[in-house]
Amino acid sequence: MKKDKVSSRRDFINKGVRLTLGLTVVGTGAMALSRRSGGEEYVWQIDPFKCTQCGRCATECVMAESAVKCVHAYDLCGYCDLCGGYFKPGAKLQTGAENQLCPTAAIQRKFIEEPYFEYIIDEELCIGCAKCVKGCSAFGNGSLILQIRHDRCKNCNQCAIATACPSNAISRVAANKPYIIKGHFTNEKEG
Amino acid sequence: MKRRVNMHRKLNMQKRIPGFFILLFVIMVSATTLIQGQQRFPKPEFDSGYVQPDPTSPEPRSVALEYFDVFVLLAALSLASWLAVRKRSRKGLMWLSIFTLIYFGFYRDGCICSVGAIQNVALSIFDPAYTISLAALLFFLLPLIFALFFGRVFCASVCPLGAIQDLLVINPVSIPSWIRKTLGFIPVIYLGLAVLLAATGSDFIICRYDPFVGIFRMDGPFLMIFLGVTFLLLGTFYARPYCRVFCPYGVLLSWMSKFSKYHMSITPSECIKCKLCKDSCPFDAIEVPVDKAYRKPEVARKNLRRFVLYLALIPMLTLLGGWIGSKSHVFLSRMHPDVYLAELMISQPELREDETNLDIQAFLESGDTFEQLVEQAIVIRTKFKKGGLALGAFIGLVLGITLMNQVVFRRREDYEPHKANCFSCGRCMDFCPVDRGT
């Protein structure tokens, strides 16, 4: 008889605590849910207007091969012979490796017509070091930009590069607009 | 602004024409015509009929697949509950854990996970600018709700971090209770710290120091892989070291599981006190029948005195913890990059000239004034003052309750799983010689 009393008291306490805990969990969920402004999912992306080409994208990604690659916005390109993103500053106009800015020779230069050249990024070789981006922004139109490539990005809960980025250029963007295309070449945003 | 409106109008007009590439082409053309006047080197007009290549833009994983992950989680949790509580099948739980290890671990690369979702929930509650994804919220909630009813079935065979360690429990040793209980306090501190740092938008430390994500991806920084391999090797004798000594989600699960309604039991019917199960648990999570000595009047009186003492200690420990926490807010706030940068620039102004300090150089280039940064840092530090207080009080409170529980004895005549610490892995069920009965 006494045992039953104890166990029923225990059951009662357990039930009460269980209810409290359950309500707390549901309440926390509801609170987080009520703070949801949009119904969108997010992915990480670099804002090329904020990027200062520090080079950390190449090293800070949790993957050995960074998910950040150089992307060429062709419609901004001047197709220059003397490309600031391709040649080292002051280098001769010869395409030898010693004259190329890219440490992995990931930029292919293709003759189109006098005096224009097309520059293609070989994504397999690109390490996202931003050397060419810096060169292109300094001497050219800024048509070379860094972007997180979503076929490579693991979409970590917290992007390791975003934490390390000195200019806060990496943020969550809506998953249905996963790239920030540079449609403007100066450092000011549209609108 | 006008330019944007113009562009949108053009886009809207073109929407009627099918085909993504036409749309893309129009965007490009309109963008080029708008800015051509300002370009350093205008885009040439080609005579050779050159066509500019389309830039590729690989799409991220689709949202529908995120919801599929939630579905897999729900299905795995339901199956694990059934296997642990009803079917009582260790084998089934193990095979399920292998499946989740492959799916959530190696296929999904360890991201999304319930352990890390704590931080998303914390950030979304404290930062109105951040929107939590529905999948992350459900990953946080579902295992807790299941734990409230069926115990830690999530740990048993749904968590990939648990699964990889559980499969490598080779020669577990029994750890003295005082070491277990002391080390078992680390997750509480880790949980509090992780919530504080996530809520202030400083960092997601659970993800940063996730030991196994590097192994799941078969790629990662050296430290991450090293940590993972160390934990796995340690786990061959100290079973599931991450779960028992670090996992912050385990703290929440253990609270839920302690009061769970249908926790798995060792014996299918009546315990015959054969002690066979005692050695089967690699996690020392089986409680033996309580020595009746605690009911002797002199022992009981002594315990009651200790109980009252510890009960009185709880508010004091909470206050003390809160005081220490709020005192250490200056130190804690350095985890936030803005505070760190502001302090660095105040203490070492000569670094402004240092070309190699990327953080300071990027800040100087950004156009924000130093005063803005300092103001920002002060706002964050105020947040840390409140957060530090809460963190300290939380740790003090949990410490107090843990101490109090040391002298609370419950009548127990059978061998039972410790509901808070039991991972519901089901090893003990195989060792119980009692038949299921009728």
For residues A71 and A121, state if they share a domain.
yes
Average pLDDT over residues B19-31: 46
Cβ–Cβ under 8 Å, residues B232 and B161: no
Which residue in B212, B259, B295, B345 has the most chain A C-beta atoms within 10 A of its own C-beta, making it the best mutation to test that interface? B259
Give the model's pLDDT for residue B49: 83
Please check whether residue B246 touches A, CB under 8 A. Answer: no
Give the model's pLDDT for residue A2: 55
Q: Which residues in chain A are closer than 8 Å to B10, comparing Cβ atoms?
A: none
Is A183 inside any structural domain?
no
Number of Cβ pairs < 8 A linking chain A and chain B? 195
Measured between CA atoms, the residue of chain B closest to residue A177 is: B59
Give the model's pLDDT for residue B22: 44
For residues B19 and B167, state if they share a domain.
no
Please check whether residue B23 touches A, CB under 8 A. Answer: no
Q: Which residues in chain B are closer than 8 Å to A191, comparing Cβ atoms?
A: 1, 3-4
- Could you report the per-residue pLDDT of B91-113, keeping only the tens digit for each? 999 999 999 999 999 999 998 89
Query: Nearest C-alpha of chain A: how many angstroms from B263?
Result: 12
Average pLDDT over residues B65-80: 95
Give the model's pLDDT for residue B437: 61
Which domain range does residue B20 map to? Answer: 2-32
Give the model's pLDDT for residue A42: 87
Give the model's pLDDT for residue B382: 95
For residues B317 and B352, state if they share a domain.
yes
For residues B192 and B177, state if they share a domain.
yes
Which domain range does residue A97 map to? Answer: 42-174
- Could you report the per-residue pLDDT of B227-263, keeping only the tens digit for each? 999 999 999 999 999 999 999 999 999 999 999 999 9
Give the model's pLDDT for residue A3: 58
For residues A72 and A20, state if they share a domain.
no
For residues A152 and A116, state if they share a domain.
yes
For residues A13 and A78, state if they share a domain.
no
Residues 383-402 of chain B whose Cβ lies under 8 A from any Cβ of chain A: none
For residues A23 and A77, state if they share a domain.
no
Number of domains in chain B: 3
Residue B429's nearest CA partner among B263, B267, B275 is: B267
Q: How far is CA B193 from CA B202, B238, B246, B367, in A?
A: 11, 25, 12, 33
Q: Within chain A, which residues score under 70 in pLDDT?
A: 1-3, 37-39, 183-191
What Rg do the C-alpha atoms of chain B give, in angstroms? 28
Is A184 inside any structural domain?
no
Burial B225-234, CB ≥16 within 10 A → b, else e: bebbeebbeb
Output the pTM of the full model.
Answer: 0.88
Is A169 inside any structural domain?
yes
Cβ–Cβ under 8 Å, residues B400 and B313: yes
- Could you report the per-residue pLDDT of B128-150, keeping only the tens digit for each? 888 888 899 999 999 999 999 99
In the chain, the amino acid numbered B243 is C
Average pLDDT over residues B268-287: 91
CB atoms within 10 A of CB B81: 23
